[in-house]
């Protein structure tokens, strides 16, 4: 284990953050990593539990508890403590294809399940992970490591998000020839064009893609498979196909006035901002600007928070974030015990920045939009909101949020960003390959085999499981790779 008395001697310490007033002036990541000496102390806090919930990755109370990748967390915490960075990297890479992504964007279910968190502060697992991977790049051990033998089998991966990238990485390491097709101009999926730059700087993705290219993975960008790039061509040229196109059908808000100009989906707003930022540093103006606008974000989740952070960096006049559900408690409720994921109030970076700029948290709970107001030119100029209260259907027992009569309010709005989640995969790729969808419009697959209804075609990630997290996408990418390898070779040693 780390240091036997480490958890008693050392307090949890995580990277400092640039103050909100400074960080909103740019689009850079704003965490300032700990010194190596301090990071080692954080490794020393791990107790090497006999039952390490941190690495369990099991579902409890409808949410995951512990790491879905089953990262060997106690092992590498100890290796961080002893400064054995190379071995720490080897153990980390055994289960996680992309620690450079998860150590920046993962909500860290490992920490939520850490035993140290039961009566104190959890081990700083996520930042230990980041220290290991960044150290590995710095010392040159995270560079290209191409396979020595090729099998001659060809696999096409459609979609270059974390699921597609993880599958491609694993299959390439196994010696198969992998081509990743991506309809955008840059690979990375929502890592590139969803998660904003201040949360994940895009050079981090570029760095990994370059390593994968040097290892032999081929990337074809601007290839919209099923539309501009024919599915039949792919089926003819490749032995296996993996569909990893994400769950990109945004859930809409179907109320009067929805056709008003200035109402758009969160991902379109975030994508345009990142693309313009990467192309020209926002000089080309090819993005939806929030400058001097009253912004209303519909959706109180992480995507909504990213919109708040981005709108503030654009220089918005105000920002309000509407959330249908009640405000979560500040402490775990009695029926939400450790090591379950804590369903408590979280103040994310965007909300912190909004509080700094406008003096208050932007979230308004138990509220939704009843109508969008338009000016004579058809542009959105306001929203009518309505309060909601929890109710239960007496026949089905189903809980739902019902509008409260007479609770309508008007809010000014020049830009409305809909961040209300996603409703499954876009059907055209599924149709092009003739694969069936399930009842939630995800691509259906046989349990644990990731095999679709069509011969030689597999699926993984959000396209298969519905809107989720990067860490789950990586897990599914690795698992589908094993299944594809098995189907090609008759067996698989892939982890
Ligand atoms: C704004 C936002 C912020 C998020 N923040 C976080 C976070 O902080 N932490 C976290 O863990 N999760 C976060 N998520 C969720 C996470 O990004 C996703 O769960 C994850 O990216 C899913 O990975 P994926 O590979 O399945 O799909 P995606 O990342 O969606 O990638 C799918 C790729 O397929 C491509 N594609 C689609 N159709 C075609 C086609 N026909 N031909 C070729 N290519 C195609 C798409 O262009 C895309 O690049 C966020 C999601 C959003 C929307
Ligand atoms: S639960 Fe926490 S203390 Fe225990 S092994 Fe995992 S990281 Fe270490």
User: Stretch 400-415: mean pLDDT, rounded?
Assistant: 97
Beta carbons within 8 Å of 181's beta carbon, 6+ residues apart: 156, 157, 158, 159, 160, 220, 223, 225, 229, 234
- Is the pLDDT confidence value at 1 over 80? no
pLDDT (tens digit per residue) in 240-286: 999 999 999 999 999 999 999 999 999 999 999 999 999 999 999 99
Tell me the per-residue pLDDT of 466-478, one tens digit each, with 9 for 90 and over.
999 999 999 999 9
- Is the pLDDT assigned to residue 388 strictly greater than 80? yes
Q: Ligand 1: which of 245, 420, 481 to mutate, most ligand atoms within 8 Å of CB? A: 245
| pTM beyond 0.75 | yes
Over pLDDT 90: what percentage of the chain? Answer: 97
Question: Six-digit token pair at 307?
Answer: 């919109």
Q: Any residues with Cβ below 6 Å from ligand 1, and which?
A: 105-106, 158-164, 181-184, 189-191, 194-195, 199, 223-226, 244-246, 248, 267, 270, 302-303, 306, 429, 461-463, 468-471, 473
Q: How many CB atoms lie within 10 A of CB 184?
A: 17
**Looking at the DSSP assignment, which residues form a beta bridge with residue 229?**
225
Exposed / middle / buried, residue 310 (Cβ in 10 Å: 0-12, 13-18, 19+): buried
Task: Using alpha carbons, list the distances in angstroms from residue 329 to 359, 420, 481.
Answer: 21, 22, 40
Predicted confidence at residue 2, as pLDDT, reads 73
* Nearest alpha carbon, ligand 2 atom 1: 114
pLDDT category at 148 given cuts 50, 70, 90 is: very high
Count of all residues that appear for the chain in the document:
495
Banded pLDDT at 448 (limits 50, 70, 90): confident
What's the first-to-final CA gap in the chain, in angstroms? 24
pLDDT tens by residue, 33-87: 999 999 999 999 999 999 999 999 999 989 999 999 999 999 999 999 999 999 9
Ligand number, closest to the Cα atom of 422: 1
Q: Give the whole-angstrom CA distance, residue 173 versus residue 162.
A: 16
CB atoms closer than 10 angstroms to residue 271: 19
Distance, CA of 205 to CA of 423 (rounded, Å): 26
pLDDT band at 495 (very low <50, low <70, confident <90, very high): confident
d(CA 46, CA 77): 6
Please check the confidence at residue 223 and state whether its pLDDT lies above 90: yes
Domains observed in the chain: 6-139 (1.10.1060.10), 154-248+423-489 (3.50.50.60), 263-418 (3.50.50.60)
108 lines ligand 2 (CB under 6 A): no
Mean pLDDT of 172-199: 98
pLDDT band, residue 214 (cuts 50/70/90)? very high
């Amino acid at each position: 284990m780390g240091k036997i008395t480490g958890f008693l001697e050392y307090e949890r310490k995580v990277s400092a953050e640039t103050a909100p007033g400074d960080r909103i002036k740019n689009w850079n990541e704003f965490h300032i990593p700990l010194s190596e000496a301090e990071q080692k102390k954080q490794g020393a806090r791990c107790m090497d539990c006999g039952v390490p919930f941190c690495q369990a990755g099991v579902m409890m109370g409808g949410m995951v508890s512990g790491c879905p990748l089953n990262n060997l967390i106690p092992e590498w915490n100890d290796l961080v403590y002893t400064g054995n960075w190379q071995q720490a990297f080897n153990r980390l890479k055994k289960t996680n294809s992309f620690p450079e992504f998860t150590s920046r964007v993962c909500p860290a279910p490992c920490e939520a399940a850490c035993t140290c968190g039961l009566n104190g502060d959890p081990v700083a697992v996520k930042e230990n992970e980041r220290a290991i991977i960044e150290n590995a790049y710095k010392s040159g051990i995270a560079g290209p490591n191409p396979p020595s033998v090729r099998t001659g089998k060809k696999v096409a991966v459609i979609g270059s998000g974390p699921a597609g990238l993880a599958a491609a990485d694993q299959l390439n390491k196994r010696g198969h020839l992998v081509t990743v097709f991506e309809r955008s101009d840059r690979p990375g999926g929502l890592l590139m064009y969803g998660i904003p730059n201040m949360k994940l700087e895009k050079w981090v993705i570029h760095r990994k893609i370059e390593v994968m290219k040097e290892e032999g993975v081929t990337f074809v960008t601007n290839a919209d498979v099923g539309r501009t790039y024919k599915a039949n061509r792919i089926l003819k040229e490749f032995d296996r196909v993996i569909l990893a196109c994400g769950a990109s059908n945004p859930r809409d808000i179907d109320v009067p006035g929805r056709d008003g100009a200035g109402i758009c989906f969160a991902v379109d707003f975030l994508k345009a901002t990142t693309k313009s930022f990467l192309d020209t540093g926002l000089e080309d103006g090819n993005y939806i600007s929030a400058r001097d606008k009253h912004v209303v974000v519909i959706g109180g989740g992480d995507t909504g928070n990213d919109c708040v952070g981005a709108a503030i960096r654009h220089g918005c006049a105000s920002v309000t974030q509407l959330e249908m559900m009640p405000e979560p408690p500040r402490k775990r409720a009695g029926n939400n015990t450790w090591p379950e994921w804590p369903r408590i109030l979280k103040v994310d970076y965007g909300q912190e920045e909004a509080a700094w700029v406008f003096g208050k948290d932007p979230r308004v709970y138990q509220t939704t939009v009843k109508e969008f107001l338009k000016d004579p030119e058809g542009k959105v100029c306001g929203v009518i909101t309505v309060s909601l209260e929890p109710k239960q259907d007496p026949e089905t027992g189903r809980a739902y949020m019902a509008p409260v009569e007479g609770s309508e309010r008007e809010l000014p709005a020049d830009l409305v960003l809909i961040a209300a989640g996603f409703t499954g995969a876009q059907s055209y790729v599924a149709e092009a390959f003739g694969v069936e969808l399930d009842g939630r419009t995800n691509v259906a697959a046989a349990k644990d085999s990731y095999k679709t209804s069509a011969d030689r075609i597999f699926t993984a990630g959000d396209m298969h499981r519905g809107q989720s997290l990067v860490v789950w996408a990586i897990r599914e990418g690795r698992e589908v790779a094993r299944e594809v390898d098995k189907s090609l070779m008759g067996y698989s040693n892939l982890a």
